């Protein structure tokens, strides 16, 4: 005999507390006494236990009984769940065998959606009440089910009250509440997740591998198109090349990409990291076979050290920044990075979509420059608005824009930021010219902005996919969400950005949790709290 997982209020009584919970048993008893209790049903405590035994999934048998009881409620009330003209609205209340007042959660008006609320507004003759009900439903559902705290909605309401010049929630109109329900008010937010590249948790290998391939094609006097990966990594090619050493400076991702490629080529690699670099990132590079170490220098000085060692030992310098006399390899690296935007555009063309705004993070600017170059080439005068994001502690592109003299400007010092991949004080001379000529805005971002983006991507709304994005990967999303939530504080910039209901926002998450401990401290423990 099948288990009975669901009981109508008319089927229970006060003795069934362990099965129905305190509230379910009491509602059943009041129904039996003939009290005017709105009818409903109770999902048993045994069903809850089964849910956890099934790996936090509702099995088909339980779900079938729930849907059967929805149908019974429709018959009792003469209403239909999800119907626009005569909707059944359901209140959902959690319970337990033993609980305290205020301990459990409630969701009111389940069954409301954007279409139903309009009908409710019209039939009631009170649109403000209808949209307030809808707002409360969204807030409760987000808090209880999606684990998006009430405080975020309260902050939005407070912001709207400030914008409207009112002090009480009841002073907000139906139109105000309708706008609030749309949250960010854009058509789409697209995020490309680059944490899956070759199992390296970051995009950087695209530049390192392609530039090394181009170097070797020159040494071998062969066109790179004739040197696919399986040929380049063959014993025959190793014999022709002899013993080579590749050297670079990195905070982690680029160096790991270079080391990975060197390992597959059966060659050596040397990697210098700036002071304060993550021990976890260091180990990841060493695990790829590199002679890697953390120096006592900032990123730019670590680059200079690597360049000196390359000259002394006749090693091949593979660096993702450029300076006078060192431009060929950085350009190849940027060409490798452009694979990302090529993939994005190809996918968007399939669905006839185009970004209106692109948020790009920048360190030396190689990645941002590569993305910007392809956007300008493909879209021409119709290119999206581009916003460059950097950390406060290493904002050389921002400073270069602010100087407004057309020249790149350096930032000195420790370059301290949680966005380790962006902790660079000297712009790539090649990418700077691209960003200068084609990008629209540059933002200098507090570390809390990146942390905000990490948390947003980690805890998505609705059917959005969760993305594990590291400190350097999430700053674009963090910047967009912060600008939206605080648009009153950034009124002039928000107006210039011209973000509206037709906007399609593109961000690129360039890395995953390359420093697991750092990621956990931010996402789990709330380090770098939102400002």
Q: Taking the CB of residue 515, how many other CB atoms lie within 10 A of it?
A: 23
Residue 161 has pLDDT above 80, yes or no: no
Q: Is 338 or 153 the better-scoring residue by pLDDT?
A: 338
Gap between the Cα atoms of 459 and 464, Å rounded: 9
Gap between the Cα atoms of 281 and 56, Å rounded: 34
Average pLDDT over residues 283-311: 95
Return the DSSP state at 511.
B
Taken as a whole, the chain contains a residue count of: 531
Helices (H), 33-59: 45-53
- What angle (nearest 5°) sits at the alpha carbon of residue 442, between those of residues 438 and 443? 160
Residue 143 has pLDDT above 90, yes or no: no
Residue 167 has pLDDT above 80, yes or no: no
Q: Taking the CB of residue 490, how many other CB atoms lie within 10 A of it?
A: 15
Residue pair 13/32 in contact (Cβ under 8 Å)? The answer is: yes
Residue 24 has pLDDT above 60, yes or no: yes
Would the CATH topology of 1-78 be identical to that of 205-319?
no
Q: Is 179 or 88 the better-scoring residue by pLDDT?
A: 88
Coil/strand/helix, residue 110: strand
What's the token pair of residue 416? Answer: 């301290």
Residue 148 has pLDDT above 70, yes or no: no
Per-residue pLDDT tens over the stretch 28-85:
989 888 888 888 999 998 998 888 888 888 898 999 999 999 899 889 889 888 787 8
Q: Which residues contact 96 (CB under 8 A, 6 or more apart)?
A: 21, 22, 45, 103, 104
Q: Taking the CB of residue 228, how many other CB atoms lie within 10 A of it?
A: 10
Residue 305 has pLDDT above 90, yes or no: yes
Coil/strand/helix, residue 519: helix
Gap between the Cα atoms of 298 and 275, Å rounded: 6
- Residue 179's nearest CA partner among 209, 222, 135 is 135
Coil/strand/helix, residue 504: strand
CATH number, domain 189-194+335-523, options 3.40.50.720, 3.40.50.1100, 1.10.3720.10, 3.40.470.10: 3.40.50.1100
pLDDT band, very low/low/confident/very high, at 429 (cuts 50, 70, 90):
very high
- Residue 477's nearest CA partner among 426, 436, 511, 437 is 511
Residue 169 has pLDDT above 90, yes or no: no
Q: Is 132 or 493 the better-scoring residue by pLDDT?
A: 493
Per-residue pLDDT tens over the stretch 218-259:
999 999 988 888 899 999 999 999 999 999 999 889 999 999
Gap between the Cα atoms of 348 and 333, Å rounded: 24
Q: Is 281 or 528 the better-scoring residue by pLDDT?
A: 281
Coil/strand/helix, residue 410: coil
Gap between the Cα atoms of 91 and 37, Å rounded: 13
Helices (H), 233-278: 235-241, 253-264
Quote the mean pLDDT of the chain. 87
What's the token pair of residue 531? Answer: 């400002």
pLDDT band, very low/low/confident/very high, at 179 (cuts 50, 70, 90):
very low
Gap between the Cα atoms of 522 and 39, Å rounded: 45
Gap between the Cα atoms of 228 and 233, Å rounded: 9
Q: Taking the CB of residue 412, how many other CB atoms lie within 10 A of it?
A: 11
Range of weakest confidence among 89-98, 377-386, 479-488:
89-98
> Which run of H or E residues covers position 467?
none
| CATH code reported for the domain at 1-78 | 3.30.1490.20
What's the token pair of residue 230? Answer: 């399986």
Average pLDDT over residues 445-451: 95
Instruction: Indicate the pTM of the whole model.
Output: 0.65
Q: Which residues contact 531 (CB under 8 A, 6 or more apart)?
A: 446, 448
Residue 23 has pLDDT above 70, yes or no: yes
Q: Where are the domains of the chain?
A: 1-78, 189-194+335-523, 205-319
β-pair partners for 119: none
* Residues acting as catalytic residues: 204, 251
Average pLDDT over residues 90-94: 84
β-pair partners for 42: 7
Q: Is 294 or 183 the better-scoring residue by pLDDT?
A: 294
- What angle (nearest 5°) sits at the alpha carbon of residue 252, between those of residues 247 and 256? 60
What's the token pair of residue 337? Answer: 């990075």
- At 1 the pLDDT is 46
Average pLDDT over residues 351-367: 93
Gap between the Cα atoms of 334 and 317, Å rounded: 15
Q: Is 91 or 302 the better-scoring residue by pLDDT?
A: 302
Q: Which residues contact 442 (CB under 8 A, 6 or more apart)?
A: 387, 388, 390, 397, 398, 400, 401, 402, 435
Range of weakest confidence among 115-129, 266-280, 362-376:
115-129
- At 198 the pLDDT is 84
pLDDT band, very low/low/confident/very high, at 180 (cuts 50, 70, 90):
very low
Coil/strand/helix, residue 186: coil
pLDDT band, very low/low/confident/very high, at 149 (cuts 50, 70, 90):
low
Q: How many helices (H) and strands (E) does the chain have?
A: 22, 13
- At 85 the pLDDT is 82
Q: Is 294 or 24 the better-scoring residue by pLDDT?
A: 294
- At 361 the pLDDT is 96
Classify domain 205-319 at the CATH class level.
alpha beta
pLDDT band, very low/low/confident/very high, at 197 (cuts 50, 70, 90):
confident
Average pLDDT over residues 168-180: 52
Gap between the Cα atoms of 40 and 90, Å rounded: 9
Residue 116 has pLDDT above 70, yes or no: yes
Per-residue pLDDT tens over the stretch 316-329:
999 999 898 999 99
């Amino acid at each position: 005999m099948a288990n009975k997982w669901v009981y109508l209020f008319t089927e229970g009584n006060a003795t069934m507390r362990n099965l129905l919970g305190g509230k379910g048993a009491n509602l059943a008893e009041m129904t039996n006494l003939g009290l005017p209790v709105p009818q409903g049903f109770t999902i048993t405590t045994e069903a809850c236990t089964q849910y956890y035994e099934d790996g936090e999934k509702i099995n088909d048998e339980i779900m079938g009984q729930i849907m059967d009881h929805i149908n019974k409620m429709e018959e009792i009330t003469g209403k239909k769940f999800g119907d626009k003209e005569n909707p059944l609205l359901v209140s959902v209340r959690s319970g337990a065998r033993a609980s305290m007042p205020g301990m459990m959660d409630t969701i009111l008006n389940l069954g409301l959606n954007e279409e139903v609320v309009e009908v409710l507004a019209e039939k009631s003759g009170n649109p403000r009440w209808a949209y307030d009900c809808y707002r409360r439903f969204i807030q409760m559902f987000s808090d209880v089910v999606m684990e998006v705290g009430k405080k975020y909605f309260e902050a939005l309401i407070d912001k709207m009250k400030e914008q409207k010049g009112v002090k009480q929630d009841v002073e907000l109109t139906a139109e105000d509440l309708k706008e609030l329900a749309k949250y960010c008010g854009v058509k789409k937010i697209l995020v490309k997740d680059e944490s899956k590249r070759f199992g390296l948790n970051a995009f950087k290998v695209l530049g390192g591998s392609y530039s090394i391939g181009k170097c070797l094609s020159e040494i071998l006097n062969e066109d790179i198109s004739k040197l696919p990966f399986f040929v380049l990594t063959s014993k025959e090619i190793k014999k022709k090349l002899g013993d080579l050493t590749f050297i670079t400076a990195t905070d982690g991702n680029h160096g790991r990409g270079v080391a990975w490629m060197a390992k597959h080529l059966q060659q050596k690699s040397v990697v210098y990291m700036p002071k304060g670099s993550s021990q976890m990132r260091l180990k990841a590079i060493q695990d790829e076979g590199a002679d890697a170490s953390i120096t006592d220098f900032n990123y730019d000085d670590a680059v200079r050290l690597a360049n000196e060692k390359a000259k002394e030992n006749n090693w091949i310098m593979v660096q993702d920044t450029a300076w006078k006399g060192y431009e060929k390899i950085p350009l190849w690296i940027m060409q490798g990075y452009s694979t990302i935007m090529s993939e994005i555009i190809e996918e968007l063309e399939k669905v006839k979509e185009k970004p209106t705004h692109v948020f790009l993070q920048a360190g030396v600017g190689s990645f941002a420059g590569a993305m910007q170059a392809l956007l300008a080439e493909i879209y021409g005068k119709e290119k999206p608005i581009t916003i460059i994001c950097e950390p406060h502690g290493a904002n050389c592109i921002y400073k270069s824009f602010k100087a407004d003299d057309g020249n790149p400007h350096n930032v000195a010092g420790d370059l301290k930021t949680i966005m380790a991949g962006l902790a660079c004080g000297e712009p790539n001379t090649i990418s700077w010219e691209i960003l200068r000529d084609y990008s629209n805005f540059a933002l200098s971002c507090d570390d809390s902005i990146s942390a905000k983006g990490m948390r947003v991507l980690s805890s998505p709304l609705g059917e959005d996919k969760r993305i594990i994005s590291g400190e350097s990967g999430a700053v674009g999303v963090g910047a967009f969400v912060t600008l939206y939530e605080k648009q009153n504080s950034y009124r002039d910039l928000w107006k210039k950005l011209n973000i509206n209901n037709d906007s399609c926002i593109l961000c690129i998450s360039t890395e995953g949790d390359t420093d697991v401990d750092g990621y956990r401290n931010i996402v789990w423990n709330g380090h770098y709290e939102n400002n």
